[in-house]
């Protein structure tokens, strides 16, 4: 007997979904050495992420809630890794 099983989403939280959207849009990146998320400060990438959130929110999540989740993630991360040493130029 052929049975179909609904695939479970790899992202289990709305915040996780928002991080994934921001990464796919190129609005954030991960520090290669420490794994912290960093804001790339690219306005075009941010707008792409918001467009994705409005156009294709997770099931059972409103467009407004999806957009708010993306905004919350952006507001919670900085543009530098807190564990990386500042560049030599920044110390002077």
Condensed to tens digits (0 to 9), the pLDDT of residues 9-50 reads 555 899 999 999 999 999 999 999 999 999 999 999 999 999
Tokens 């790899």, residue located? 10
**pLDDT value at position 86?**
77
Name the pLDDT band for 5 (thresholds 50, 70, 90): low
User: pTM value?
Assistant: 0.78
Pairing of strands 37-39, 28-30: antiparallel
Q: Indicate the average pLDDT of the chain.
A: 86
**pLDDT value at position 2?**
58
DSSP, collapsed to helix, strand or coil, labels residue 28 as strand
């Amino acid at each position: 007997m052929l049975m179909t099983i609904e695939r479970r989403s790899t992202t289990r939280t709305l915040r996780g979904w928002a991080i994934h959207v921001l990464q796919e849009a190129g609005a954030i990146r991960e520090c290669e050495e420490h794994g912290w998320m960093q804001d790339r400060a690219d306005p075009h990438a941010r707008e792409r992420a918001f467009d994705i959130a409005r156009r294709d929110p997770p099931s059972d999540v409103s467009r407004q809630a999806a957009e708010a989740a993306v905004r919350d993630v952006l507001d919670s991360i900085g543009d530098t890794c807190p564990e990386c040493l500042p560049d030599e130029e920044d110390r002077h």
